[in-house]
A and B are shown apart, each in its own frame.
Chain A
Amino acid sequence: MNSKFGIREVVAMGIGTALFVVLTNIQVPIVIVPNTALQPRMAVMAFLAAAFGPIVGGVIGLLGHALGDALFYGSVWWSWVFPEAVVGIAIGLFKNKYAVREGGFNSGKTIVLFNVTQVVANAIAWILVAPVLDILVYAEPANKVFAQGAFAFLGNIIIIGILGTLLLVGYSKIAGKSSDLSAED
C-alpha cells in the first residue's frame, strides 16, 4: 500500500459510506417528478470526495448508494448506483487543488473549480450515464428517464453547489492552517 492510499482513506471510505447511508432518507422533495429530490447526502459525498480523493469518492458513491438502497428499500436500482460513483470520482480528481484538510479551500478560485467540476460531473452522470443505463437495463421509455435524469441533475447541482460549497469553506476555516506558513528570509 503506498502513501497516497493509506489507512485514513480506508477509514474515510468506511465511515463516509456509513454517513452517506444514514443520510439516505433525509431528502427534500422538489417537484412531482417521482423519485427525485434534493439529497443532502450528495453534498456530503462531494465534500468527502474533495477531501479524500477519487477512490474514496467513488467508493462512497457506489457502496453508499447500493447499501443505502438495500438497507432502506430492500432492493437496488443499479442504473442509478453507478452515476453516483462517477460524480464522486470526478470531484475527487482535483483533491490536491482543494487541499481541504490543510485549510486550503477558501479562495474564489477553488470554489469556482469545485463548482465547475461538480456541474460537469453531474451532467455526465445524470443526463448521460443514468438514463442510458435505465434504458439498457430496464427498457424504460427514453423521454421519462431523460426527464428524471434532468431533474436529478438540477437537484444535485443545487444541493452540492450550495451545501457542498458551504461545508468545504466552513471546514477549511477550522481545519489546520499549514498553508499559511511561509519561509523566513
Chain B
Amino acid sequence: MNRLISYEKKDTFIHGLSGFSKLVFFIIWCIVSAMTFDTRVLVVMLLFGAFIYIASGTKWRQVSSIFKAVMFFMTVNLICIFFFAPYQGCEIYGTRHDLVHLFGNYSITCEQLFYELNVLIKYFTVIPAVFIFLVTTDPSELAASINGVGVPYSISYSVAIALRYIPDIQDEFRRIKNAQEARGIEMSIKAPLVERIKRIASIIFPLLFSTMERIDVVSNAMELRGFGKKKTRTWYSRKKLVAADILVIAGVIVFAFVALFITYCDGNRFYNPFI
C-alpha cells in the first residue's frame, strides 16, 4: 500500500499559521482554480503554488511518488481528450491553426495544444494547495478549523476521527490481507473479474464487520464521556488568529477578486491568444 501524505512538524511561516486561515485559503484557492480558465491567472497561480511549496520546506521525496502518479493520470487524460475531441480547442477559441496532420480526421492544432496545456496547468494549481494544507496542518487542529468556518462540531469531530483511524484501519486491512493470503487466497491481477471481486470480498467482509464493531466501541466510549451534550465546544489545539493570519485571509480574498475580474472582464473565462 502506498505511503500516504501526512503531517510533518516543522518550523516555517506556513506551519505557524492557524489551521483556520489555511483552510480559508485552500477553499478560496480551489474555487478560483475551478472558475478560471484564463492562462495568465493559471500561470500566476502555478508560480505562487511553487513558491509556497518551497516556503513550506517540503522535501522532494515526500511528493515524488505522488507527482509521478499524477503525471501518469494527466497524460492518459490529455491523450483521451485528444482522441474524443481533437478540435475542442478550436471550438473554444474560434480559430484553427493546423500543425501536423496525423490520420483520418485527426490533426494537431495550436488551439488544441493550448487548451490541453490549460487543462494541465489548471489541475496542477490545486496540488500545492491541497498538499501544503495536509502537510502543514496538525490533524487535530484541522477539526478545530473546520468548526471555525461554520461546520457543526459533530461533523468536524468526525473529520478528526477519520484522520485518527486511517492508520488503524490500514493496519487492520494489511492483517486481514496477510491472513487470507496465508489461507491460500491469492491477490494477483491475473484472475478473471468475478474471481477477483470474490477475493476482494474476502478482505472486505471481515474488515467492514470489524469496523462496525469499532464504531460501537468508540461511540459507547464517547457517550460515557458526555459527547454532544452542549451546543458548542472548545478545542484544545485551536490556534488564535494573529496578524499573519489576517494578512493571509485578506490576501487570498483580494487575489480571488482580481483573478476573477481579469478572467471575466473580456466576457468569457478563456484567455484567447489567437485573435
Q: Chain A residues in contact with chain B, CB under 8 A?
A: 1, 5-19, 21-23, 25-26, 28, 30, 33-35, 38, 40, 43-44, 47, 51, 59, 63-64, 67, 70-76, 78, 137-144, 147, 159, 162-163, 166-167, 170-171, 174
CB <8 Å contact, B228 and A1? yes
Give the chain A neighbours of B131 by CB distance below 8 A: 70, 74-75
CB distance from B50 to the nearest CB of A (A): 14
Tell me the chain B residues, 220-242 only, with Cβ under 8 Å from chain A.
222-223, 227-228
How many A-B pairs have beta carbons closer than 8 Å: the answer is 188
| Distance, CA A1 to CA B84, complexed state (A) | 50
B55 at interface, CB cutoff 8 A: no
Known: A10-B157, A10-B222, A16-B215. 18 other contacts (CB 8 A): A1-B228, A8-B216, A9-B154, A15-B162, A17-B158, A17-B162, A18-B164, A21-B162, A21-B166, A25-B1, A71-B166, A74-B67, A78-B30, A78-B34, A139-B37, A139-B270, A171-B209, A174-B209
CB <8 Å contact, B5 and A137? no
CB <8 Å contact, A166 and B201? yes
CB <8 Å contact, B205 and A72? no
CB <8 Å contact, B208 and A11? no
Known: A14-B158, A25-B1, A28-B196. A71 touches B165 (CB 8 A): no
B73 at interface, CB cutoff 8 A: yes
> What does the 1/0 interface line of B1-16 toward A look like (CB < 8 Å)?
1101100000000000
Give the chain B neighbours of A78 by CB distance below 8 A: 30, 34
CB distance from A182 to the nearest CB of B (A): 26
| Distance, CA A17 to CA B88, complexed state (A) | 37
Q: Chain A's interface: helix, strand, loop or mixed, by majority?
A: helix
CB <8 Å contact, B201 and A71? no
Known: A14-B157, A17-B158, A19-B169. A28 touches B193 (CB 8 A): yes
Tell me the chain B residues, 74-89 only, with Cβ under 8 Å from chain A.
76-77, 80-81, 84-85, 88
CB <8 Å contact, B228 and A7? yes
B22 at interface, CB cutoff 8 A: no
CB distance from B70 to the nearest CB of A (A): 6
B211 at interface, CB cutoff 8 A: yes
Give the chain A neighbours of B215 by CB distance below 8 A: 8, 11-12, 15-16
CB <8 Å contact, A63 and B162? yes
CB distance from A28 to the nearest CB of B (A): 5
B155 at interface, CB cutoff 8 A: yes
Of all chain A residues, which has the CB nearest B77? Answer: A34
| Distance, CA A142 to CA B200, complexed state (A) | 34
| Distance, CA A15 to CA B217, complexed state (A) | 11
Within 8 Å by CB of A75, from B2, B70, B84, B223, lies B70
Could you pull out 21 A-B pairs where Cβ atoms are within 8 angstroms? A1-B154, A7-B219, A7-B222, A7-B227, A8-B219, A10-B157, A10-B227, A11-B215, A17-B161, A18-B166, A18-B168, A25-B2, A33-B80, A40-B204, A70-B130, A72-B4, A139-B37, A147-B84, A162-B197, A163-B197, A171-B212
